[in-house]
Amino acid sequence: MKNKYCIIMAGGIGSRFWPMSTADRPKQFLDILGTGKTLLQQTFLRFAKVCPKKNIFIVTNSQYKALVMEQLRIKEHQVISEPLRRNTAPCIAYASYKIKALNPDAMVVVSPSDHLILDEDSFCDIISIAFKKAEEENALITLGIKPSRPDTGYGYIQFDNIKANKKEKVRRVKTFTEKPDLNIAKKFLESGDFYWNSGIFIWSNKTIISALGKYLPDITSLFQSAENHYNTPKEEKHISTIYERCKNVSIDYGVMEKAEKVFVVLSDFGWSDLGTWGSLYDNQEKTKEKNAIVGKQVYVHDSQNCIINAPDDKLMILQGLNDYIVVDANNTLLVCKKEDEQKIKQMVVNIQSKNKA
């Protein structure tokens, strides 16, 4: 247990959950499911079942460090502050070098901070399987989620589907595909050898640092240059310089799609990345009219299939809506057709541009 570590990535701004999620308090710091715990808190407690709490590190933008400390009972050194947003490869490289300085034999699981896991016991079992494989093979492991529909919002992993190996949960990865169109997504489901890419990774710290050095040498050399300063007072100054020079690249594109020894653990534990209001709707309890409602004073008439979110002290009365998103938060009201929710991100950009003009 002492060699098991977790890196939780919590630096995103969650613009698709606007107006509830804002740049000042993104969705990972919100209780969007109405459980009494934020998504970050739920994620932290989930991983506390598979590794010691003291070995869980939160990587976030420096502006959110205080929020992390407010929501989690952890030591200050467990919050890794990025001065700039540079995607997941630099984020993972930074955390990996910090962990290397603490424990060169570390085994690491990396996860976003804003996912929903319904069956946490099965999830913990899968993580254990992945840790074992990563240690035995010096391999890079990702978790694949059994798809329930031809979703175009997820990346897909194609795996080795040899018939003699049907019961084996761990398969060698053949290809990664980013967000296909609907026709291709349907073919993926029909083939039976494609799973959704969860964005959750497991490996030994030595293996990922070696892979970063091979496939992203420019990024690796930057973080390697600060090797004598991690977990010291000089770290912040060096990291600030590194991030200014560091390119923006994802770990999927930069490493996983290029590496040779990559495996996927086939998983089915009730997963959602909660990336949109629609995915939140899919995972909430609903009324007999198929409305998902958060708010103590929401009254709905002649309305179906809506997702409605309002503060408990706000009286909201809706009539005659079908398939709508209605959100009242942060002195802002959003009313949007569910089918148009992908436009919300651009709406936010347009509003910000007009306000700056």
Task: Spell out the residues 6+ positions from residue 114 whose beta carbon is closer than 8 angstroms to its own.
Answer: 10, 12, 14, 27, 28, 39, 40, 43, 273, 274
Instruction: Name the token pair of 155.
Output: 């990346």
The number of helices, as runs of H, and strands, as runs of E, in the chain is 11, 17
Where does the chain hold its CATH 3.90.550.10 domain(s)? 4-275
Where does 4-275 sit in CATH, by number?
A: 3.90.550.10
Residue entry with tokens 């770990």: 251
User: At how many degrees (to 10) do helices 205-215 and 88-102 cross?
Assistant: 140
Task: List C-alpha distances in Å: 272 to 24, 163, 282, 352.
Answer: 24, 29, 9, 29
For residue 16, what are the CA distances in angstroms to 43, 139, 267, 269? Answer: 20, 34, 26, 24
In sequence order, what are the beta bridge partners of 196? 145, 156
The tokens describing 134, both together, are 């990563």
> If we measure between CA atoms, which residue out of 131, 132, 117 comes closest to residue 42?
117
Question: Using one digit for the tens of pLDDT, what is the confidence trace for 51-62?
Answer: 999 999 999 999
Length of the chain: 357
Identify the pLDDT of residue 151. Answer: 86
270: left (phi over 0), alpha (psi -120 to 50) or beta: left
* Cis, peptide link before residue 26, omega less than 30° from 0: no
For 110, phi then psi, to 5°, come to -115, 135
Query: What digits encode the pLDDT tens for the residues 146-163?
Result: 998 898 888 999 998 765
Query: Beta-carbon neighbour count of residue 156 at 10 Å?
Result: 23
The pLDDT, as a whole number, for residue 3 is: 96
Q: Are 196 and 145 a contacting pair, CB within 8 Å?
A: yes
Low-confidence ranges of the chain (pLDDT < 50): none
What tokens appear for 142 in the block?
């990702």
Sheet holding 292-294, edge to edge: 292-294, 307-309, 324-329, 332-337
User: Are residues 155 and 251 in contact, defined by beta-carbon separation less than 8 angstroms?
Assistant: no
Closest CA relative to residue 51, chosen from 60, 59, 43? 43
